[in-house]
Chain A
Amino acid sequence: MQPRSHNFKENAARALHDDVLQSALSNVRSGFVAKRARARSALPEFDQLCNEARDIKNHTLAHLDLYLEAYEAKVVEHGGHVHWAADAAEACGIIADICRQQNARTVTKGKSMIGEEIAINDHLEHAGFEVFETDLGEYLIQIRGEAPSHIIGPAIHLTRPQIEADFRRTHTDLPAERDLSNAENLVAEARAVLRERFVAADVGITGANLLIAETGTSVIVTNEGNGDLTQTLPRTHIVIASIEKMAPTLEDANTILRILARSATGQDMSTYTTYSTGPKRDGDLDGPDNYHVVLLDNGRSAMLGGQFHDMLCCIRCGACLNHCPVYNAVGGHAYGWVYPGPMGAVLTPSLVGVEEAGHLPNASSFCGRCEAVCPMSIPLPKMMRHWREREVDQGRMPLGQRTAFKAWAFLAKRPALYHAATSIGVGFLSLLGRRKGAIRSLPLLSGWTRNRDLPAPQGRTFQDQWRAGWRT
């Protein structure tokens, strides 16, 4: 999709007044946040595993060229093909070419954030292919013509009545009087509709949560099983993955998988973790005849060794979104591109440019919860600060805001002062916001709040609550 991140202020203001969205967002806290906390406390080794996973990623990034070469050799050894794509246009071109070579008409897709990043659906549809998303959340946003609002729950912004209305609008060959009043019936209907797509598809496209150099394997993690049907039934399986998805060995993948689902959905392990190595083998009765991997760079190699290097450790668990007060208040669409929340605020300017997305790092209360829950200990607030400072340095911020942020930056570098100042601020803000529960103007930061309401702080600052044990 075209980035619309420069509209963050307007998007956020709209989101805060959208009652339906606000009711959908309340599920984030009761769902993901509570489940993660339970999963973490049930595994005494969790923090240790996070540290090890981080070490693995650091080692992998420091040897990324070598592991990519080793991985490529193994894919080829197992009969697969590896295609390198420097940017989104190249990746889309490669995928469309493979579809054409296969005389494909229909394509099914498992959930892939890289697919969203390169807007593969639009490209393939323009090239004349029919594309069907098969992950339920992705299917819902596809029939609505929307972008995902969360990296692991793409349709988390929707409520059941909206989904019912969408199904009635799009599944017109089904009886009008059918009962769609509960989630079970909606899932059953999607299952039946998509079943036909799976069986008819010529090409199946999946993403990859990991690529394993030791064996030339791509790994997907799902709960629905849609990814498996997507990649097993058609003649051709295409994997799209970005270069930093690399893990050297099966053991390294174990460590990362032990923290991924726990951080994401709070499961000990996702229902399906699928390792795919090459096409089907001689004698196999099912599986694809062709296996292609498209390795996407799209700005990542330029992040190596720079200020945003650590962001390449991200395993896309979504914990930083779920725990972010700004994300929880405005939802994912306000961020205007495919990666929302704190990880998006750091990654999006790196990938689409600071001109388009330089605002996003301002979408933070700098409470530090994102970094605290990030299994890879990515210093998200620090990196957002880097972007802010760049934006200030380049004079992209209006003067008032610039002064405010310089003051803020001064405080933020001095934790004790920052804490004192924000504690005062909270008392003051909750007075201002008391009447409506939201703050409509803020003396110092009026430029910043003109187009959006900040949710009124409820009592203590995040740092207070964090210290009081809210951290997990």
Chain B
Amino acid sequence: MARGLADMTARERTLSAIRTGLGVSGSDKIRASSAAERLKHHPSGTVPARAKGEIENLATLFADMLEGQAASLDWIAREEDVPEAVARYLRDLNLAARVRIGEDEMLSELPWKMAGALEIASGPAEPSDTTGITRAQVGAAETGTLFLTSGPDNPTTLNFLPETHIAVIRKSDIVGGYEDAWNRLRKSYGEGTLPRNVNLISGPSRTADIEQTMVMGAHGPRRLHVIVVG
């Protein structure tokens, strides 16, 4: 039974106005299958040529892009050297030897105690934290972009609240384009689903809101340091 406009919910009104504008009905089979197909197969558009290549080239591009966006990088061979690399970075910049990490399976197993007087806390970030450490599941070389996923292992606040953010990534987790990165996440989380947050991070926080002058550390971290392992 047809109802008057006043009886319709905002949802029905909006959808019906869209259909009227488009001159279609909601039950058109061809339209429905065209949308459903796209959602199911999520076809890729053009991927920039520079996002294709061997891992060595991609790792170099990844680093160059990140450095171009004012992040710093460190390359280490072995996972067990991460704590020492962290301690060294903080020492060199004269930063407090205090870090907070999540329960990431790779990070929490590391020999943190060996890394001198580094003070370690876990859990989500507190406003007083100075350095947060998280692991990037994957990194896209095309723009030097880290993909960080939320979860008990890597709380999102660690990426944003402390003044210094250290991200650890395995070299084998560096891929070319965003498509490769999302396909990795689809493998971990399943099709059509994502964790609460996927944070794509391509450098430290910045603003140009004052006379277009670039200033680092607007609200998020002033420094982004990326440790590539492998």
Contacts and interface: CB of A to CB of B under 8 A. Distances in A.
Given A63-B31, A186-B210, A301 B14 contact: yes
B152 interface: yes
Contacts of A283: 151-152
Nearest to A24: B211
Contact of B200 (A24, A160, A269): A269
A323 interface: no
Nearest to B154: A285
B197 A287 contact: yes
Q: Which DSSP category, helix, strand, loop or mixed, fits chain B's interface? A: loop
Interface in A177-215: 183-184, 186-188, 190-191, 194-195, 198-199, 213-215
A155 B102 CA distance: 37
Nearest to A243: B14
A45 B206 contact: no
A187 B11 contact: no
A66 B32 contact: yes
Interface in B156-203: 156-157, 159-161, 177-179, 182, 192-203
A74 interface: yes
A80 to B, nearest CB: 10
Interface stretch (B37-45, B75-83, B90-98): B37-45
B31 A66 contact: yes
A49 B48 CA distance: 9
A152 B199 CA distance: 21
A217 B194 contact: yes
B219 interface: yes
Contacts of B155: 284-286
B127 interface: yes
A171 interface: no
Given A85-B10, A269-B145, A136 B160 contact: no
A70 B199 contact: no
B152 A284 contact: yes
B151 A301 contact: no
A11 interface: no
Interface in B34-71: 34-35, 38-39, 42-46, 48-49, 65, 69
A254 B215 contact: no
A275 B11 CA distance: 24
A357 interface: no
Contacts of A417: none
Interface in A86-127: 86, 90
B117 interface: no
A225 interface: yes
Contact of A305 (B23, B211, B213): B23
Given A160-B211, A302-B21, A52 B219 contact: no
Given A49-B45, A134-B219, A272-B220, A84 B18 contact: no
B108 interface: no
A415 interface: no
B124 A258 contact: no
B157 A84 contact: no
Contact of A224 (B18, B45, B192, B219): B219
A137 B219 CA distance: 12
A255 to B, nearest CB: 4
A42 to B, nearest CB: 10
A198 B160 CA distance: 12
Given A84-B11, A251-B179, A277-B194, A137 B209 contact: yes
A221 to B, nearest CB: 9
Given A27-B212, A251-B182, A305-B21, A45 B196 contact: no
A165 B137 CA distance: 45
Contacts of A271: 69, 201-206, 220
A331 to B, nearest CB: 14
Interface stretch (A226-234, A395-403, A460-468): A226-234
Interface string A128-162: 00000011110010000000000001111011100
Given A45-B49, A258-B48, A68 B15 contact: yes
A183 to B, nearest CB: 4
Given A86-B13, A191-B217, A274-B197, A232 B160 contact: yes
Given A136-B207, A271-B203, A272-B200, A86 B10 contact: yes
Contacts of A433: none
Given A252-B45, A271-B69, A271-B202, A278 B157 contact: no
Contacts of B9: 84
Contacts of B193: 77-78, 215, 277
A270 interface: yes
Contacts of A301: 14, 17-18, 20-21
B42 A65 contact: no
A194 B220 CA distance: 11
B196 A214 contact: no
Contacts of B21: 301-306
20 contacts: A136-B218, A153-B212, A156-B209, A186-B210, A187-B207, A215-B193, A225-B160, A228-B199, A229-B160, A250-B182, A251-B43, A251-B44, A255-B46, A257-B178, A258-B48, A258-B178, A271-B220, A287-B156, A301-B17, A301-B21
Interface of B: 9-11, 13-15, 17-24, 26, 31-32, 34-35, 38-39, 42-46, 48-49, 65, 69, 102, 123-125, 127, 142-143, 145, 150-152, 155-157, 159-161, 177-179, 182, 192-213, 215, 217-221
